[in-house]
């Protein structure tokens, strides 16, 4: 093998990349993993430039400098609440790059001599186009630039999505039959997946958004892997395959945690039927809660904010076990440091304090983990839904900080809503529930939350940073 040393170098870079990814298993080593993978990507880019003839090298250098400066500026100015939208845009950028380069490759290959390269380039165009447009729409929705609420789409919407999928496949087939030099076939092949990605992303909303982001991340990785096969780039194949496989696994895990299927999320199907948990009556016999929607929720008004705060402090003082449920409102208020401080003070007082994290809390996978790690919360204190849900019934106080949909009992008691059938954190089973939310409005799904009218709930409405700080007698920073 004449170029065995090049393959060896490629394997070393791939190994470094995998080693960096492996560090993401724990939040404490995630920063190190980010640095390692950045070095691997930089080395891969340098090798690509070195091994290929570049007519205008200064263009590559200028693009690298401009992109690097833009990345630094964005990373310095972006806030944690806008990170999900940024992640979605980065997914789209990866899909868009694969789309453009795959189109260039299609213009260079010839059939039937390079049928394999043409096939994978076409796959890169189709998957990359869906990732690009879908990610842009997702980013716009997450950043509140596109206000489309989640709804259960009808057969018409599904027909449009299926028609676009068929058109994309037909355009790709026409391109291979008529020849890659046909501009119309080229344009149709590029535009069809872009339209399909936009339609799919527009249909998804509510608690399904984190699943969509994860799925689009997998698409961008798959598109890169397809492009790697088309260009015979081993490093691109390896990196794309890892992103695609990990994103797919995460998507399936999150969908399962929501009692949904990925197909249902993309096609507008409702959640799988869920049986509400039985509750014992005074005689000790179990009965399922009523599934008929009750009267329209009215906000529960405590006598005064001061009285509610006094009541909440009294509940915490008498509690021995406490579970904190963080949500996207905590990110909006940037209250993670106050929440961590409250948890530490309660722990120092001899109380058992744990965090319950729903799989889709926030706007992206792992959003709450990142925020709490930033506030130096020990990873061992974070519990996934399945590991802690049964403990709410024996917990003295549950503190909800900026969460609504993931603790909304309507998901298991009210049918035919965007969150019906979705497993929730059963905070309503705790003896007392302290709600530190901005107000009593529904969460992202638009479904009213009966927790706000539960007699056991203490409502501390307002900015979460201020209300949580008031629980520990401090001023919000």
**226 has pLDDT over 70:** yes
Residue 2: its pLDDT value, please?
A: 54
**155 has pLDDT over 90:** no
Q: What is the mean pLDDT of residues 326-336?
A: 88
Residue 343: its pLDDT value, please?
A: 93
Domains of the chain by range and CATH?
Answer: 67-267 (no CATH), 302-471 (3.40.50.1220)
CA atoms within 13 Å, Cβ hemisphere of 264: 18
**469 has pLDDT over 80:** yes
Contact at 8 Å (CB) between 471 and 313?
A: yes
| Range among 56-70, 199-213, 276-290, 316-330 with highest mean pLDDT value | 316-330
Peptide bond before residue 112 is cis, with ω within 30 degrees of 0: yes
For β-strands 279-280 and 286-287, DSSP reports them as antiparallel
Residue 113: its pLDDT value, please?
A: 60
What are the DSSP calls for 98-166, one per residue?
HHHHHHHHHTT--TTTTHHHHHHHHHHHHHHHHHHHHHHHHHHHHTTSS--------HHHHHHHHHHHH
**340 has pLDDT over 70:** yes
Give dist(CA 354, CA 337) in Å, integer. 15
Contact at 8 Å (CB) between 434 and 399?
A: yes
* Token duo for residue 309: 């705060």
Note the pTM of the prediction, 2 decimals: 0.73
pLDDT tens digits for range 396-411: 999 999 988 889 999 8
Residue 284: its pLDDT value, please?
A: 35
pLDDT tens digits for range 162-198: 777 777 777 777 666 666 556 777 787 888 888 888 8
pLDDT tens digits for range 87-141: 888 889 999 999 999 888 877 766 656 778 888 888 898 899 999 999 999 888 8
List, by residue number, the catalytic residues: 405
Contact at 8 Å (CB) between 266 and 204?
A: yes
* Token duo for residue 378: 């020990």
Backbone CA torsion sign across 226, 227, 230, 236 = negative
């Amino acid at each position: 093998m004449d170029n065995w040393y090049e393959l060896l170098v490629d394997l070393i870079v791939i190994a470094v990349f995998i080693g960096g990814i492996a560090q993401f298993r724990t939040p404490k080593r995630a920063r190190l993993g980010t640095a390692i993978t950045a070095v691997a990507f930089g080395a891969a880019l340098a090798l690509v430039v070195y091994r290929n003839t570049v007519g205008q090298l200064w263009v590559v250098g200028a693009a690298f400098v401009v992109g690097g400066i833009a990345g630094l500026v964005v990373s310095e100015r972006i806030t944690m609440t806008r990170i999900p939208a940024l992640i979605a845009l980065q997914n789209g950028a990866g899909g868009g790059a694969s789309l453009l380069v795959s189109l260039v490759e299609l213009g260079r290959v010839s059939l039937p001599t390079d049928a394999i390269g043409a096939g994978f380039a076409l796959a890169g165009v189709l998957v990359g186009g869906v990732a690009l447009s879908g990610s842009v729409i997702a980013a716009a929705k997450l950043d509140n630039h596109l206000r489309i609420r989640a709804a259960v789409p009808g057969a018409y919407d599904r027909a449009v999505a299926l028609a676009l999928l068929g058109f994309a496949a037909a355009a790709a087939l026409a391109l291979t039959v008529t020849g890659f030099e046909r501009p119309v076939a080229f344009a149709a092949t590029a535009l069809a997946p872009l339209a399909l990605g936009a339609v799919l992303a527009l249909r998804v909303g509510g608690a399904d958004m984190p699943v969509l982001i994860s799925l689009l991340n997998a698409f961008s990785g798959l598109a890169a892997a397809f492009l790697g096969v088309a260009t015979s780039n081993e490093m691109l194949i390896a990196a794309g395959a890892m992103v695609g496989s990990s994103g797919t696994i995460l998507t399936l895990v999150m969908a399962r945690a929501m009692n949904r299927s990925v197909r249902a999320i993309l096609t507008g199907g409702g959640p799988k039927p869920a049986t509400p948990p039985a509750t014992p009556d005074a005689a000790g016999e179990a009965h399922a809660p009523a599934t008929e929607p009750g009267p329209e929720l009215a906000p529960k008004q405590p006598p005064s904010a001061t009285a509610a705060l006094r009541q909440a402090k009294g509940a915490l003082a008498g509690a021995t076990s406490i579970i904190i449920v963080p949500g996207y409102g905590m990110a909006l208020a940037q209250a993670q440091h106050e929440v961590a401080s409250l948890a530490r003070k309660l722990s120092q007082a001899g109380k058992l304090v744990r965090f319950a994290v729903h799989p889709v809390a926030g706007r992206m996978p792992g959003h709450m983990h990142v925020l709490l790690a930033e506030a130096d919360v020990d990873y061992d204190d974070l519990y996934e839904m399945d590991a802690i849900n049964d403990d709410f019934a024996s917990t003295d106080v549950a503190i909800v900080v900026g969460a609504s949909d993931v603790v909304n009992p309507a998901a298991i008691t009210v049918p035919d809503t965007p969150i019906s059938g979705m497993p929730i954190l059963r905070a309503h089973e705790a003896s007392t529930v302290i709600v530190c939310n901005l107000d009593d409005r529904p969460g992202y799904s638009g479904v009213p939350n009966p927790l706000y009218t539960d007699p056991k709930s203490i409502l501390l409405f307002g900015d979460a940073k201020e209300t949580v700080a008031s629980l520990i007698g401090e001023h919000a920073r």
